[in-house]
Structure 1
Amino acid sequence: MSPAGATNLARAASLGRAVVITASDRAAAGVYANRSGPLAVEGLQAMGFEAEVVVVPDGEQVGTQIRSAVDSGAVVVLTTGGTGLGPRDLTPEVTAPLLTRELPHLADWIARRGLEQGVATAVLSRGLAGMVDGCIVVNLPGSVGGVRDALWVLDQVLPHAVAQAAGGDH
């Protein structure tokens, strides 16, 4: 096994459980397939997390699922969708009251990454990032491209952030 393969196995054994919550009325109703949630799961697994996806309609159920994931021991919760300007895009509104600490620069970096990739509408995403108790929670856009950009950012910092949240050294 290559050293990189050994590192990935060590990461997988130590990083913990992650939950991806896709907020989409249409995906929850089966109108179309959830593509962003599975992509986020793949990205988290590549970082070394055990990950699963839950699909719920936009709105209050997102907050309920975040709280449930935190209470069940998740160390990371990513949401996809519900961060735009539509009337049912309420993911930031249901996330904000749960946050015990904010990570505004993480959300900023995710938006900036989209801009760097030539996606001007990345500035319209209202996603938040922070902690709910000891769990890292990040709102991602619902688009596959937005999730891909966010995963690039998260890969740079998420394993370190999780270790710090658990009491690890800087």
Structure 2
Amino acid sequence: MDADQPIPATVITVSDEIHSGIDGNRAGLLAVELLGRHGIHTELVVVPDDVERIRAAVHDARTAGSRLVMTSGGTGIGPTDVTVDAVTPLLSYQVPGIGEEIRRRGVATVASALVSREVAGVIRGEPSVFVLTAPGSRGGVRDAIEVIGPLLAHIVAQLDGAGHF
């Protein structure tokens, strides 16, 4: 990837309420804004809490050329929190330190961050894609982007075969 081109990304908001129009997409819009501050060109998609719809959205984002696919929502332990279950089987391998750091930051202000199940990893392919499941709260999105934002250029370079720097 050309270092002068913005990294293409997709944020997938996973929420029955937002998908149906009952609630606004505050966390998704915040993700787009914060990623933009890191030079990331981001598309925003909304899907309901449905495993197949989540997987289809990830597939569509990859097909469209996204190098980062970040979901927002569905990382908790409730009955409709299915994002992690939908995404994990798609990953070629996980990068556990990312989720650990997001939870570490979150628990500094909200104890319930410990029951969030963020997962980060890579789907290998041409090109490979970095995937992160982030919480659906604005605080969780902020924590997630504080962690991955400064790393994204390095992550994409690594996925493209660059040496360690």
TM-score norm. by structure 1 comes to 0.89
Q: Distance in 2 between matches of 1:49 and 1:168?
A: 19
Q: Which amino acid aligns with 2:36?
A: Q
Q: 1:95 aligns with which of 71, 87, 103?
A: 87
Q: Could you tell me how far 1:32 is from its partner in structure 2?
A: 1.0
* Contact 1:15–1:159 under 8 Å retained in 2: no
Partner deviation per Cα, 1:22-65 (whole Å, 9 max, x = no partner)? 00000000001101111111111111111010001012211110
Q: Which amino acid aligns with 1:152?
A: E
Q: Distance in 2 between matches of 1:81 and 1:54?
A: 12
* Contact 1:40–1:151 under 8 Å retained in 2: yes
In the other structure, the counterpart of 1:47 is 38
Following TM superposition, where does structure 1 have runs of at least 4 consecutive aligned residues deviating by more than 6 angstroms?
Answer: none
Secondary structure of the structure 2 residue equivalent to 1:47: coil
Q: Distance in 2 between matches of 1:39 and 1:74?
A: 18
Q: 1:29 aligns with which of 9, 20, 27?
A: 20
Count of residues in Structure 1 that have an aligned counterpart in Structure 2: 159
In the other structure, the counterpart of 2:136 is 142
Matched residues, percent identical? 42
Task: State how 1:78-89 maps to structure 2 within 5 Å.
Answer: 78-89=70-81
Secondary structure of the structure 1 residue equivalent to 2:11: strand
* Contact 1:82–1:89 under 8 Å retained in 2: yes
* Contact 2:9–2:66 under 8 Å retained in 1: yes
Q: Distance in 2 between matches of 1:121 and 1:163?
A: 34
Secondary structure of the structure 2 residue equivalent to 1:73: coil
Name the structure with the higher helix share: 1
In the other structure, the counterpart of 2:110 is 119
Partner deviation per Cα, 1:112-149 (whole Å, 9 max, x = no partner)? 11123x21111111111001121000000000111111
Q: Which amino acid aligns with 1:31?
A: I
Q: What are the ranges of 5 or more consecutive residues in structure 1 without an aligned counterpart?
A: 1-9
* Contact 1:41–1:52 under 8 Å retained in 2: yes
Q: Which amino acid aligns with 2:43?
A: E
